[in-house]
Amino acid sequence: MENPLLLMIPGPTPVPEPVLFASARQPISHRSQDFRDLMADITVHLKWLHQTQNEVLILASSGTGAMEAGIINFLSPGDRVLVGCNGKFGDRWTLVCEQFGLITERITAPWGKALDPKRFRQHLEADLDKQIKAVIVTHSETSTGVLNDLETISRHIKAHGQALSIIDAVTSLGICPVPVDEWGLDVVVSASQKGYRMPPGLGFVCVSPKAWQAYETARFPRFYFDLGKCRTDAATNTTPFTPPVNLFFALQMSLTLMKAEGLSAMFAHQQRLMQATRAALHALDLPLFVPDHYVASPAVTAIAPDQVAPETLRFKLQQQYGVVIAAGQDHMRGKLVRIGHLGYVCDRSIVTTIAAIEAALK
């Protein structure tokens, strides 16, 4: 199943063949013992991936569906939330919150820079009557390639005592450490087409006991994305609605492969790919959008090329070398290109991409 194009975008990522083959079989009944066995196995492995005892629920959705579920299950109209914004996905969280009538306050940083944890501390310390109900942080900002300091920010959220942490780990889970229990994260959202090394189609929401308490009093209407229903059914290894069972086969295989590799080996591999990419781009004199003094995301590297128009570079890579990289997003479209090196990407893919960029610059 050779792909004629080398997919080097920050998701969907290439998928290992055993994972593709696992899904290429006849569906099974989602009300059968076989499905319950499948789901039981997946559940154990999802907890392992999240480094948690909390429940991890599976949705038939993309990451944005999981974001929406992360809001509507734990909050109520008119609640105050604090959102970290330093890129497109922080902005998307704000949009979702505003769409549902939440009162949104923002801690911002320019695109390409990291959120300052101190500003979260100051903002939360000033909330003396504990009105802020949730703090939303995008761990790896895919639009820029910055990794925010989630460990420190989550410590400040815990010190507040009242607010839930709602974390976008869409391009960090499975890519760098997101130790949910150790950092005390309440709601953690992810999606299958990123660090899971799977096709798109599944969203995940990991929920702490504190978040389940908030669920009891949360007042947004919900039906398909009602995580309480998922939780009740997950207790007997089933789902409220027909799940994409073939993606569940793929998920089981992918988690099995990841478990055999081990979390630290996976994270070390991703880190090495990021470092190799950055070193090579430096050597080609291509300006990295995230400077060395910020922590770079191991998922994606953005460059703002000055020797060639970004869109020309992207076009040439695909047309001449079959290498697909991503464009900048929103106001950075036409100003950036982004190289994804997350998921099932190997050294050879990085070498090929860099060689293609070097040739395209000539």
Summarize the annotated binding site for substrate as residue ranges. 338
Residue among 7 and 191 whose Cβ is closer to ligand PLP: 191
**What is the distance between the alpha carbons of residues 9 and 342, in angstroms, rounded to a whole number?**
9
**What is the distance between the alpha carbons of residues 249 and 100, in angstroms, rounded to a whole number?**
34
Q: Least distance (Å) from ligand PLP to the CB of residue 74?
A: 17
Q: What is the DSSP string of 210-239?
A: HHHHHHHH-----STT-HHHHHHHHTTT--
User: Which DSSP letter does residue 285 get?
Assistant: T
Q: Least distance (Å) from ligand PLP to the CB of residue 62?
A: 3
Q: Least distance (Å) from ligand PLP to the CB of residue 171?
A: 5
Residue whose beta carbon is closest to ligand PLP? 63
* Site residues, ligand PLP (CB under 6 A): 11, 62-64, 89, 138, 142, 168, 170-171, 191
Q: Which of 173, 203, 174 is nearest to 191 (CA)?
A: 203
User: Which DSSP letter does residue 297 get?
Assistant: P
Q: Least distance (Å) from ligand PLP to the CB of residue 224?
A: 15
**Gyration radius (Cα) of the chain, Å:** 20
Q: Least distance (Å) from ligand PLP to the CB of residue 271?
A: 18
Amino acid at 330: D
- Residue 135 CB-half CA count within 13 A: 30
For the annotated binding site, the residues are 338
Residue among 54 and 297 whose Cβ is closer to ligand PLP: 297
Residue among 250 and 360 whose Cβ is closer to ligand PLP: 250
Residue among 94 and 142 whose Cβ is closer to ligand PLP: 142
Amino acid at 186: D
Stated as kind and residue range, the H or E segment containing 122 is helix 117-125
Residue among 172 and 208 whose Cβ is closer to ligand PLP: 172
Q: How many of the other CB atoms lie within 10 Å of CB of 172?
A: 28
